[in-house]
Structure 1
Amino acid sequence: MKAVLFDLDGTLIDTAQDFIRIIQNMCREENRDVVDAALIRTQVSEGARAMVKLVYPELDVNDPVFLAHRQRFLDIYGANIAVDTDLFDGMYPLLEALESHQIPWGIVTNKPRWLSEALLKALNLTERCAVLVCPEDVSKTKPDPEPMYLAAQQIHVNAKDCIYVGDHPRDIDAGRNANMYTILAAYGYLPLEHKDDLTAWHADCIVNTVQELHKVVSQLVNIT
């Protein structure tokens, strides 16, 4: 293997605490029951709409009122994008090991580019990341393989020589659809409806910690 690509939220970066704070504050402001932090965590990978739906379950997602709440959520998050956010524990050594052996690493995410770029900048990762592919860059997002192929093309590596790490079934499907080696990050924000049988995701490998991920990736890219 010649490159490592990551999903963003719940795989490379632990963003949950910022989302939890914002959603719970929205609940308090609206005098609604405060949504449990663990439940919010399972919805992070589903995006802003799913998280805001936890606060306003009675509203249709296309309702102008719901859309206004969603935009407010995004505005708050964009202005406070990395208050309690950082790489997952153990991820810095993994990235440093890849970089020291000239193994490019990058990100393929369904997170909007303006938020993804702001997050990478806040964590001083912009210059270190070899490629960032966001929904705006493609006509079809994950689980379609288009963003995977684009990422591989931009770093001049054949898709079959890439590892893709993700914490959602669409991540694994996208990687498999592009013939990449897929790793399921079981330490991430596993969606409730898919977390009971991780083998059903058909990933090439399942890791429960970043430390385990480091070991597996090191073996695959031959830097042990």
Structure 2
Amino acid sequence: MKAVLFDLDGTLIDTAADFIRIIQEMCRQEGKAVVDTELIRTQVSEGARAMVKLVYPELEVEDPVFLAHRQRFLNLYGQDIAVDTDLFTGMYPLLETLEQHQIPWGIVTNKPRNLSESLLEALNLTERCAVLVCPEDVSRTKPDPEPMYLAAEQIQITVKDCIYVGDHPRDIDAGRNAGMYTILAAYGYLPLAHKDDLNAWQADCIVNDVAELQQIIYKLVDIQPASA
């Protein structure tokens, strides 16, 4: 394997704490019962709409009132995008080792580009990331393979030589559909509807923490453990 691509939230970067902070504050402002922390975590990979729905379950998602709340949520998140956010423990050494061995790494995400770029900038990852593919860059997002093809094209590496790591079924489907080697990050924000049978996702490999992820990636890209 010659490159490693990651999903963003829940795979490369642990963003949940900031989402939890904002959603729970919205609950308090509205005088609503505060949504459970773990329930919010399971909705992070489902996007802003799903998280805001936890606060306003009575509203239809196309309701102008709901859309206004969703925009308020996005505005609050954009203003303080990395207060409690950082890479998952062990991810910095993994990225550094890949860079030392000239193995490009990048991101394929369904997170909007403006938020993705702001997040990478806040964590000083912008120049280190070899490719960033967001929904605005393609006509069809994950689970369609189009974003995966674009990422491979931009780093000039064939899809069969790319690893894709994700924590949602659409990540694994996108990687599989493109012919990439897929790794399910079981330490991430697994959606409630799919977390009980991870084998059903049909990933090539399942890892329970970043330490396991490191071992698998180093083996696949042929980096000796002593070099890590």
Query: Shorter-normalised TM-score: what interval?
Result: over 0.9
Q: Does 1:20 find its partner at 2:25? A: no
- Counterpart of 1:219 in structure 2 is 219
Give the ranges of 4+ consecutive aligned residues of structure 1 lying more than 6 Å apart after TM superposition: none
Q: Aligned-pair distance for 1:143?
A: 0.2
- Counterpart of 1:84 in structure 2 is 84
Question: Alpha-carbon deviations, 1:108-154, whole Å to 9, x = none?
Answer: 00000000000000000000000000000000000000000000000
Which amino acid counterpart does residue 123 of structure 1 have in structure 2?
L
- Secondary structure class of the residue paired with 1:183: strand
CA distance in 2, matches of 1:183, 1:73: 31
- Secondary structure class of the residue paired with 1:5: strand
Q: TM-score, normalised on structure 2? A: 0.98
Q: Aligned-pair distance for 1:55?
A: 0.1
CA distance in 1, matches of 2:85, 2:95: 17
- Counterpart of 1:141 in structure 2 is 141
Task: Please show how residues 106-185 of structure 1 align to structure 2 within 5 Å.
Answer: 106-185=106-185
- Counterpart of 1:6 in structure 2 is 6
Q: Aligned-pair distance for 1:2?
A: 0.3
CA distance in 2, matches of 1:171, 1:160: 16
Q: Aligned-pair distance for 1:85?
A: 0.1
- Secondary structure class of the residue paired with 1:94: helix
- Provide the identity percentage: 82
- Counterpart of 1:69 in structure 2 is 69
Question: Alpha-carbon deviations, 1:34-82, whole Å to 9, x = none?
Answer: 0000000000000000000000000000000000000000000000000
Which amino acid counterpart does residue 148 of structure 1 have in structure 2?
M
- Secondary structure class of the residue paired with 2:183: strand
- Secondary structure class of the residue paired with 2:4: strand
Q: Aligned-pair distance for 1:89?
A: 0.3
- Secondary structure class of the residue paired with 1:25: helix
- Counterpart of 2:34 in structure 1 is 34
